[in-house]
Structure 1
């Protein structure tokens, strides 16, 4: 038996061979300095014509579907609140805290089913699982328009939350099964900004639908909101059933040739991204004993709570307190998601081209700290206050690169990738469901002094966790190369 400290000649030769392969893969990923990918280039200079055709096909088959599906889900996230003030409260006799209870039931389904459904997806053909979940989500969404009492809504909201909640981590895992490190952040950013586009467009869609459809065919306006969500979802789900490929190791697609599937498998092998394996108890124990799950989930906690300025409508409430009109508030408030979209794209491009994940995360945290320091001081020039509110929109701009990094770190195990990514998202949503009640109290609006200082502390902790994460990841890379 060869000891850990004493290698046999065969082991040395294998290590040297692995080192050479690692060096070749590294060169393929980054290329020589003269061939490094430019920020405006969609393909790397080292991509062959066959790879470029494959990448374009994957973008058309996968990215279009996940973007549209995520956009449709954001419409529903605001539909219940809009329906509540558009007649649902009176029709269903909702009083007291029943709207809060509806949101709570939704979040219970959203949070509790993220990890189980994401792990279940790794056992099933993804090209059927994701669209089927989307179809069911659309059906349960539609069923809400027929609700005659709040009890029925409670049950329906749970299933809507469960079927929609796992979509984000599931898609992040799915993207990591097809795209290389130098491609993943940009695709993740395109997927992520669908939520921002959805939040910007949902108000206009719902307002227009209520104004034009209220009473049409004897259906109240608030019920039409759920019908519209269903109508948006079903065509997208069927599109997914027709277009989506599964994962490379077991792929059957009418749009990908046999050679392209083999090329996709080779691309993932060059990234050391392992295909799916049996999800056994020893494998679960191995994942739980490793550092990746705990460090990445802890890091995700700080990141997920650091967007509180934007997610708690600090800008809108300040504008309202300053006497701005409703139209002006709605218009100005769209700047924040626009900033998130732009920062997401910039961070994704720089991350893919320069592999600068840690630097981009650090810069974003510092920018958010500056914004929150200004808002905590509060008594500053109006222009600076506007700038701080808008700057806080960059906090979510690193979402895509964080999940792309998790895909890269957990590349050796498809099951660990699924568990880690879903756990990262679950922990953020779990704490996000109740922490704002204590930190972002409505009575403190618009000067959320506790909230702004809390966000500063979160970003400082995120910077510290970034050092820890970088340490573990660098150490593991050194071990794998030795």
Structure 2
């Protein structure tokens, strides 16, 4: 039992509510809030459609501007990043293999070279983002990979592609974990999953767009002496450069150091207050004590393991499994590039379903959509491992086999919430999650997704079943650890108001 300003408190949760309301009253009395922001807005049916509908007009206006800039830049940036990441797959099945005389597992090596560069750059890049402005670092890296992409059109050997793919991966390593860090620096818990998932859905749109673009550029075959697959790399760069340059002028950094010209002083103060209410720490410094705290916590290990299982258990290890099956069945180049876009469209739909259900239906719980996704992946991959199944069911398995890709945003939203009270831990954990997932991806496809075994990747499909099961088990473990940690924090806070 505790007493707070004459109020008898018998429940830990109620003690925290009283403490928070008193803090808000104190803030209002001292005039610290430049714009009104509710700690817990009253929830109506409208918030199930979009979370800003239950907030004050000032906060809605602020979030509208924030979404218009951050989500637009993040989504377009990730679209071009993923477009430039997967274009080698589209080019490979559209003439590059034959024109350059590629053979064996050289496509696997091209993917691996990109992955190695990506892995090397991620953690150093995200640590730099706690020291320098994201609005400088991220667009600069985008310009670098955009320019290198066009050089792929001039390659005449696999070795040249290996080298360029390594440096493209190195430049691209800044974007996804970096933008996840930025998104997690502006949005609150009831807003975070939707934005993270909308951001991640751009990867599926990038995959779709790559297929459509390859289908279109195939018609340019021979124009100005370039083959259709070469035009794919050229047009990728033409699309990417304007988006990269726009980042210098629009990306708002993080609230405490932002100099965004499109935000008013009151809106910047509102942004800082929102993160304060969310318990999201400001930027600090990396010290030995901080590193010790980070690496003795379960956060970095459990969250990283979860993302490893997600990343390597969806999208067939980044292999064009669906496309190669279609090619083996004798479908045209247009069909081989177009039909897999249906799977990407389904992924986008499920990504949004996961986001809305997590934020609204499950009231901020991240694990239910992860369990649902993992269960379906077990079914689909087990079916493909059998292989001799009805042709209609095989189409279903391939078309729905990418729905696991939609939970990426949820895993990062979960990480932002778990690591809210330490900015440097949050940046490092987000980068480590993504990096270690790609460390595994650098070698695992060489074992289980060997091109010479296409289209029947028996080892790959069987491995996916076990990875999906491991993802489910890890998500449930994190849920248990988080509940214990939150209970301990609530007990400490309740003791502090005695």
Counterpart contact for 1:310–1:393, Cα < 8 Å: no
Counterpart contact for 2:208–2:340, Cα < 8 Å: no
Residue in 2 that maps onto 1:201: 209
Following TM superposition, by how much is the alpha carbon of 1:320 offset from its aligned partner in structure 2, in angstroms?
Answer: 4.4
Q: Matches of 1:341 and 1:25 in 2, distance apart?
A: 41
My pick for the range that moved more, 289-298 or 66-75, is 66-75
Residue in 2 that maps onto 1:435: 444
Counterpart contact for 1:310–1:392, Cα < 8 Å: no
Matches within 5 A, 1:110-149: 110-145=118-153
Match of 2:481 among 469, 472, 478: 472
Q: Matches of 2:140 and 2:327 in 1, distance apart?
A: 42
SS in 2 for 1:334: helix
Match of 1:64 among 54, 64, 72: 72
Q: Matches of 2:433 and 2:233 in 1, distance apart?
A: 30
Q: Matches of 2:156 and 2:458 in 1, distance apart?
A: 42
Q: Matches of 2:151 and 2:379 in 1, distance apart?
A: 46
Counterpart contact for 2:91–2:214, Cα < 8 Å: no
Counterpart contact for 2:212–2:338, Cα < 8 Å: no
CA displacement, residues 178-210 of structure 1 (integer Å, 9 cap, x when unaligned): 111111111112211111111111133234335
Residue in 2 that maps onto 1:455: 464
Following TM superposition, by how much is the alpha carbon of 1:144 offset from its aligned partner in structure 2, in angstroms?
Answer: 4.4
Q: Give unpaired runs (5+ residues) of structure 1.
A: 1-8
Q: Give unpaired runs (5+ residues) of structure 2.
A: 25-36, 492-498
Residue in 2 that maps onto 1:20: 18
Counterpart contact for 1:340–1:394, Cα < 8 Å: yes
Residue in 2 that maps onto 1:421: 430
| TM-score normalised by L of structure 2 | 0.84
Residue in 2 that maps onto 1:73: 81
1:183 aligns with 2:191: yes
1:288 aligns with 2:286: no
1:456/1:133 Cα in 2 relative to 1: closer, same or farther (>3 Å)?
same
Q: Matches of 2:390 and 2:101 in 1, distance apart?
A: 46
Residue in 1 that maps onto 2:34: none
SS in 2 for 1:476: helix
Residue in 1 that maps onto 2:28: none
My pick for the range that moved more, 427-436 or 50-59, is 427-436
Residue in 2 that maps onto 1:53: 61
1:346/1:25 Cα in 2 relative to 1: closer, same or farther (>3 Å)?
farther
SS in 1 for 2:50: coil
Following TM superposition, by how much is the alpha carbon of 1:173 offset from its aligned partner in structure 2, in angstroms?
Answer: 0.8
Counterpart contact for 1:308–1:455, Cα < 8 Å: no
Counterpart contact for 2:215–2:337, Cα < 8 Å: no
Residue in 1 that maps onto 2:402: 393
Residue in 1 that maps onto 2:115: 107
1:255 aligns with 2:262: yes
SS in 2 for 1:356: coil
Following TM superposition, by how much is the alpha carbon of 1:21 offset from its aligned partner in structure 2, in angstroms?
Answer: 3.9
